[in-house]
């Protein structure tokens, strides 16, 4: 029998998360969006209306944000890394990010003032590529460490952005610790990581704000489609930075009537799901083996956790077959719907939605969510086929089938 999806309602006592939540206001997202608009080749990524899939499942609307078009990098992660680096440099120049744009950052004058900087990070692929891309644009260096089992294709993509990139024999969380150690030993080193821990929260907060450009675009696109507020949001989580950014943004927008918001993780690395059950932030150890490489993180972001424990409604732990189902559903849509080329981490929320709407064994979860004919569901496809061979293995050859096998 196939591994089951696990879900749990958030019943944790509410606490004061105003400090973390204040990072994700519309005003902060507008700052991030203004910076990203100044970057050459910026364009809002599509919000795809899966109207025929919605009709098939008898819900009002299903929208999915397609991040495969982001700066030709095929993933949303560059939004966070580029904005964090921009904010770091602005701070070194004694300016607020609202006072400078991309042109100032890449100028000869700025380079002369800053000298040489090396940006360090750990990644499964997309975040590291974004950091390397941003560092390269700013004529700076980057060092990128990847966990064992990482895709060679993703490694080479990072190297093509000019980074010193290697695949280690460590899991993701240990690779983060090694990158941080290397950065601390380099007098010109700066750690740019999308997770936070005690004593390291400023840059992760900036990364979460950078991700907010995606949510800000989505809000504008929903309004253009005649939607003021989605009723349900599903967002994937590794360390939780994206989930905290999205949920924090929409919690700020609709404080009195927020959407029903669900955090979705890989079952091999479901630290937030387990933390919800434990009532406190705990980690997951081991190799964290999953096709959802972007979600293979065993330790949660402390900033994001404060937002999620107060504003997420449900936490879900999903096996690999859920992601593969989502990839196939999006790549081969119902007639009339636009296809979305989504990678393993990008498609998991679509696979989850498809499963809970179609499979009767998850009827209790569907009813707990309150999805009905008036529901407007928002999903995020956070990456395209960043590993094309794996994408073909799943979509063409049926790897990780979703049947009862």
Are 245 and 141 in the same domain? no
Say if 53 falls within a structural domain. yes
pTM (two decimals):
0.94
By residue count, the chain amounts to 405
**Domain final residue, candidates 198, 233, 267:** 198
Catalytic residue, candidates 31, 49, 65, 124: 124
| Segments forming the whole domain that contains residue 98 | 78-198
Contact 211, 243 (CB under 8 A): no
Name the 3-class secondary structure at 360. Answer: helix
Q: pLDDT digits over 203-235, tens only?
A: 999 999 999 999 999 999 999 999 999 999 999
| Alpha-carbon span 358 to 335, nearest angstrom | 18
For position 405, what pLDDT does the model report?
42
Q: pLDDT digits over 151-190, tens only?
A: 898 999 999 999 999 999 998 889 999 999 999 999 999 9
Burial call 113-131: b when 16+ CB within 10 Å, e when fewer: ebeebbbbbbbbbbbbbbb
Are 68 and 107 in the same domain? no
Are 303 and 366 in the same domain? yes
Q: pLDDT digits over 280-299, tens only?
A: 999 888 888 899 988 988 88
Which DSSP letter does residue 99 get? G
Q: pLDDT digits over 233-278, tens only?
A: 999 999 999 999 999 999 999 999 999 999 999 999 999 999 999 9
Are 252 and 373 in the same domain? yes
DSSP H or E stretch at residue 9: strand 6-9
**Domain final residue, candidates 152, 176, 198:** 198
Are 158 and 230 in the same domain? no
What mean pLDDT comes out for the span 18-29?
95
Active site residue 77: yes
HSE of 295 in the Cβ direction (CA atoms, 13 Å)?
34
For position 370, what pLDDT does the model report?
97
Are 299 and 365 in the same domain? yes
Nearest to 233 by CA among 256, 190, 264, 208: 264
**Domain final residue, candidates 143, 177, 198:** 198
Q: pLDDT digits over 327-355, tens only?
A: 999 999 999 999 999 999 999 999 999 99
Are 147 and 115 in the same domain? yes
Confidence of residue 381 (pLDDT cuts 50, 70, 90): very high
Are 288 and 368 in the same domain? yes
Confidence of residue 126 (pLDDT cuts 50, 70, 90): confident
For position 2, what pLDDT does the model report?
83
Are 67 and 107 in the same domain? no
* Model confidence at 53: pLDDT above 70: yes
Are 97 and 221 in the same domain? no
Are 24 and 133 in the same domain? no
The label of the residue with tokens 């460590």 reads 170
Neighbouring-strand partners of residue 64: 48, 379
Active site residue 58: no
Greater pLDDT, 262 or 1: 262
Say if 13 falls within a structural domain. yes
Structure tokens at 72: 């030709």
CA-CA-CA-CA dihedral for 27, 31, 36, 39, to nearest 10? 150
**CATH assignment of the domain containing 159:** 3.40.50.1100
Question: Cα–Cα–Cα angle for 143, 144, 145, nearest 5°?
Answer: 125
Report how many domains make up the chain: 2
For position 297, what pLDDT does the model report?
85
Are 85 and 175 in the same domain? yes
Catalytic residue, candidates 65, 77, 141, 390: 77
For position 298, what pLDDT does the model report?
87
Which DSSP letter does residue 72 get? G
The label of the residue with tokens 């006072």 reads 99
Contact 328, 395 (CB under 8 A): yes
Q: pLDDT digits over 348-360, tens only?
A: 999 999 999 999 9
Nearest to 270 by CA among 1, 3, 7: 7
Q: Which range (16-30, 51-65, 118-132, 215-229) has the least confidence? A: 118-132
For position 404, what pLDDT does the model report?
58
Contact 399, 324 (CB under 8 A): yes
């Amino acid at each position: 029998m196939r591994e089951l999806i696990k879900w749990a309602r958030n019943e944790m006592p509410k606490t004061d998360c105003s400090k973390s939540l204040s990072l994700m206001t519309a005003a902060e997202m507008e700052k991030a969006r203004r910076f990203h608009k100044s970057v050459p080749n910026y364009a809002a990524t599509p919000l795809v209306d899966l109207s025929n899939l919605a009709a098939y499942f008898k819900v009002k609307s299903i929208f999915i944000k397609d991040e495969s078009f982001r700066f030709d990098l095929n993933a949303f992660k560059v939004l966070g890394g580029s904005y964090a680096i921009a904010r770091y440099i602005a701070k070194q120049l004694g300016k607020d990010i609202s006072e400078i744009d991309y042109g100032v950052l890449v100028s000869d004058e700025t380079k002369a003032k800053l000298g040489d900087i090396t940006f360090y990070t750990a990644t499964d692929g997309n975040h590291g590529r974004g950091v390397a891309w941003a560092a390269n644009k700013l004529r700076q260096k980057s060092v990128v460490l990847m966990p064992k089992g990482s895709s060679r294709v993703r490694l080479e993509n990072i190297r093509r952005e000019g980074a010193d990139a290697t695949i280690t024999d460590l899991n993701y969380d240990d690779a983060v610790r090694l990158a941080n150690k290397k950065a601390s030993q380099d007098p010109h080193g700066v750690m740019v990581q999308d997770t936070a821990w005690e004593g390291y929260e400023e840059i992760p907060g900036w990364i979460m704000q950078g991700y907010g450009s995606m949510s800000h675009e989505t809000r504008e696109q929903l309004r253009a489609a005649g939607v003021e507020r989605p009723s349900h949001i599903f967002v994937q989580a590794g360390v939780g930075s994206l989930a905290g950014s999205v949920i924090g943004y929409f919690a700020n927008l609709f404080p009195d009537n927020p959407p029903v918001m669900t955090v979705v993780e890989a079952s091999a690395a479901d630290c937030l799901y387990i933390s919800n059950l434990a009532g406190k932030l705990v980690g997951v150890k081991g190799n964290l083996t999953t096709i959802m490489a972007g979600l293979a993180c065993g330790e949660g972001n402390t900033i994001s956790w404060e937002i999620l424990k107060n504003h997420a409604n449900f936490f879900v732990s999903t096996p690999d077959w859920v992601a593969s189902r989502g990839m196939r559903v999006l790549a081969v849509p119902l007639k009339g719907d636009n296809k979305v080329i989504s990678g393993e981490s990008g498609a998991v929320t679509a696979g989850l939605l498809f499963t809970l709407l179609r499979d009767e064994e998850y009827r209790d979860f569907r009813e707990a969510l309150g999805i009905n004919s008036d529901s407007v569901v928002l999903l995020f496809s956070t990456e395209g086929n960043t590993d094309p061979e794996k994408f073909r293995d799943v979509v063409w050859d049926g790897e990780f089938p979703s049947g009862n096998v």
